């Protein structure tokens, strides 16, 4: 599977989805139509995008958007944020990598919880689920040299940054 096909699958399945859960179901259905080799390739592209998104500015934007004060909690939530950005498509990923503040237009609020929709844990397991459904095996991650580890690139500030100055677009969105 080429990277263009990876993005086509993300975009096509998102178009027909009512919500993220739907999107994940459609992604799994689409991957089930592919060969095992293509499912593994999809995972490789997914991990490469996760790696691209693993940077300090996005980490700080995530802290701000999700109002997280505890670094340990952010360590848990950050992969879900990156995965959610990938569900938004190539344009979103590229924009957010260029400038973390560019996440603002993609943020929507959950009407029932008043929380910002910016997490998608299930996206981390889409290829694993499709692989298991297709093969009946539970050894998906054993097919890779190691478990994915995404080192956050960049220098963390020594003191709490002024989020409003650092992320003006996000600030506008959060306060609208």
Inform me whether the pLDDT recorded for 148 exceeds 80.
Answer: no
Smallest Cα–Cα separation from 87: which of 14, 17, 19?
A: 14
pLDDT of residue 172: 95
Inform me whether the pLDDT recorded for 112 exceeds 70.
Answer: yes
Interval 67-102: pLDDT, tens: 998 888 999 999 999 999 999 999 999 999 999 999
- pLDDT band for position 151 (cuts 50, 70, 90): confident
Residues with Cβ within 8 Å of residue 132, at least 6 apart in sequence: 138, 140
Q: At CA 48, angle to CA 154 and CA 121, rounded to 5?
A: 90
Contact 59, 98 (CB under 8 A): no
Q: Where are the beta strands (DSSP E) in the chain?
A: 108-109, 116-117
Greater model confidence, 144 or 34? 34
Report pTM: 0.94
- Copy the structure tokens of residue 70: 């505890």
Buried b / exposed e over 79-116, threshold 16 CB at 10 Å, is bbbbbbbbbbbbebbebbbeebbbbbebbeeeeeeeeb
């Amino acid at each position: 599977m080429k990277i263009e096909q990876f993005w086509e699958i993300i975009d096509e399945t998102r178009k027909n989805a009512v919500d993220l859960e739907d999107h994940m179901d459609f992604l799994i259905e689409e991957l089930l139509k592919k060969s095992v080799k293509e499912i593994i390739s999809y995972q490789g592209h997914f991990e490469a995008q996760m790696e691209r998104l693993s940077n300090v500015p996005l980490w700080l934007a995530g802290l701000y958007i999700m109002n997280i004060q505890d670094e340990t909690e952010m360590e848990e939530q950050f992969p879900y944020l990156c995965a959610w950005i990938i569900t938004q498509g190539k344009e979103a990923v590229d924009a957010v990598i260029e400038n973390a503040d560019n996440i603002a237009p993609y943020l929507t609020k959950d009407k029932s919880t008043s929380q910002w929709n910016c997490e998608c844990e299930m996206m981390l397991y889409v290829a694993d689920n499709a692989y298991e459904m297709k093969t009946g095996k539970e050894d998906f991650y054993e097919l890779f040299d190691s478990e994915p580890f995404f080192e956050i690139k960049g220098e963390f500030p020594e003191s709490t940054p002024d989020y409003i100055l650092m992320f003006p677009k996000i600030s506008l969105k959060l306060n609208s």
